[in-house]
Amino acid sequence: YMDLCHVPTTREKSWYLALMAPNIKGPNYAWLDPSRLYCHPQGLQDCLTDLLQPFQGDHIDMVAGIDAMGFILGAAAAAMLRKGFLAIRKAGHLCVQTLTQPYTDYSGREKVMEVRTDAISPGLRILLVDQWIETGGTMRAAIQLVEQLGGVVAGVAAICIEDSEGGRWIQEHYKCTHCIPPQLQSRFDRHQ
């Protein structure tokens, strides 16, 4: 049971990370479940404020979220920014014309992602949002879809961007934001 009303008297930066639940089901699951954070009104609010702060004053036309958990943060970010929201889907769900992109996800599985072709016009500036960037494979596929349609990646936002080869590549090439304080980063990289 989670106390949804409790807010710490002094809200340290990233205090809401403690709301995330550890994996109790074993190695076939992610090591941490961030979705518990979304249930907490102030936690969700503060997480979004931190994620969007670096983009204050930046030109963003639309927010795109990645299937599936990126839909939650992405739609909430779009509402906060008063922008439209574009869902980047796992292939096979959209009944309109799409562009597809194969990729390998964090678990090493080959997958395909798709986006509708009528939502991105050349030069449209898009903030890409996902819950977590582990190997970077999923986010890179989303970046490729946006750029193939002529869109511009205005930024990449996730609760955590792990210090993996793919995570570093994304941070070197795009404006990125995440919620993990520098002193905790190595613990998240080691899944502790």
Residue 183 token pair: 């002193």
Answer yes or no: are the C-beta atoms of 159 and 181 closer than 8 Å.
no
Confidence of residue 40 (pLDDT cuts 50, 70, 90): very high
Question: How confident is the model over 4-30, as a mean pLDDT?
Answer: 91
In the chain, what are the domain boundaries?
15-188
118: left (phi over 0), alpha (psi -120 to 50) or beta: alpha
Summarised one tens digit per residue, pLDDT across range 144-165 is: 999 999 999 999 999 999 999 9
Percent of the chain topping pLDDT 90: 90
Confidence of residue 107 (pLDDT cuts 50, 70, 90): confident
Question: How confident is the model over 24-35, as a mean pLDDT?
Answer: 92
Report the pLDDT value the prediction gives residue 38, as an integer from 0 to 100.
96
Tracing tokens 């599936």 back to the chain, one arrives at 68
15-188 folds as Rossmann fold (3.40.50)
* CA atoms of 68 and 132, how far apart (whole Å): 11
Mean pLDDT, the chain, whole residue set: 95
Q: Which residues pair with 129 in a beta bridge?
A: 65, 157
Q: Is the pTM of this model over 0.75?
A: yes
